Chains A and B, each alone.
Chain A
Amino acid sequence: EAGVAQSPRYKIIEKRQSVAFWCNPISGHATLYWYQQILGQGPKLLIQFQNNGVVDDSQLPKDRFSAERLKGVDSTLKIQPAKLEDSAVYLCASSLEETGDTNTGELFFGEGSRLTVL
């Protein structure tokens, strides 16, 4: 079974430039998450999709961050314009829609996209 795919793995940009990250979740996983992980910290949820609808974007800085999940599969996270404090690893994760006896609802993560803003 293929895992969560993310690209690019690394990106270096200057402040005020824009950047986009792409994520392809595990086939059949209805829920997709974008997390931001700043160096030395745990991941922080930015946005959660259920199919192509947004479930939680309360911690997404909407003045500069945007995300979409067209057709309920792939997702793109965009930052425009980037700030120095956006330097982080952006982790995409997916999970099955419902928990149950055989499903703990754990999140499956991609390898992340490391962003450096200069």
Chain B
Amino acid sequence: AQKITQTQPGMFVQEKEAVTLDCTYDTSDPSYGLFWYKQPSSGEMIFLIYQGSYDQQNATEGRYSLNFQKARKSANLVISASQLGDSAMYFCAMREGGSEKLVFGKGTKLTVNP
């Protein structure tokens, strides 16, 4: 069973607008962590934001925020005021309690248009 589902293969957004990238997850473990990574064409995976399953508030990091809806098992990434440099692949990942490894989704390719 797929643990991380990203249903949007590609997304387009105009510069300066906000965009939401979807992620749903599947786990029976009450303790888990959710991550978003950005992968530019250079190939390196860049950590963006983290949400713990017990965190009461949605995580925010600059222009990135995570819309965490625990009951729906969704952890959508919101990028505000998109910039051309935001064009990249975006991966949602999960780590279950007691494990250090990350399980990744298939990713969403974001293109920011001028």
State how many residues of chain B have any CB contact under 8 Å with chain A. Answer: 23
| A60 CB → nearest B CB, Å | 13
Q: Which residues of B contact A40 (CB under 8 A)?
A: 106
Tell me whether A42 and B44 are in contact in the complex, defined as CB-CB below 8 angstroms, given that A33-B101, A48-B101, A105-B95 are known contacts.
no
Q: Considering the chains assembled together, what is the distance between the CA atoms of A104 and B52 in angstroms?
A: 8
Kindly supply a per-residue 1/0 record for chain B positions 75-97, scoring 1 wherever the CB is within 8 Å of any chain A CB and 0 otherwise: 00000000000000001010100
Residue of B nearest to A59 (CB): B101
Within 8 A of A (CB), among B37-76: 37, 42-47, 50, 52
- Which residue of B42, B50, B101 is within 8 Å of A104 (Cβ)? B50
A109 adjacent to B45 (CB under 8 Å): yes
Interface size class of A (residues with CB under 8 A): 20 to 34
| A54 CB → nearest B CB, Å | 12
Within 8 A of A (CB), among B10-56: 33, 35, 37, 42-47, 50, 52
Within 8 A of B (CB), among A43-90: 43-45, 48, 50, 55-56, 89
A118 at the binding interface (Cβ < 8 Å): no
A26 at the binding interface (Cβ < 8 Å): no
Residue of A nearest to B4 (CB): A42
- Which residue of B42, B100, B105 is within 8 Å of A42 (Cβ)? B105
Within 8 A of B (CB), among A102-118: 104-112, 114
A42 adjacent to B101 (CB under 8 Å): no
Q: Which residues on B are within 8 Å of A, measured CB to CB?
A: 4, 33, 35, 37, 42-47, 50, 52, 91, 93, 95, 100-107
Q: Which residues on A are within 8 Å of B, measured CB to CB?
A: 31, 33, 40-45, 48, 50, 55-56, 89, 91, 93, 95, 99, 104-112, 114
| 8 extra A-B contacts, CB within 8 A, seeds A41-B106, A105-B33, A111-B44 | A42-B93, A45-B103, A91-B45, A105-B100, A106-B35, A106-B50, A107-B45, A109-B46
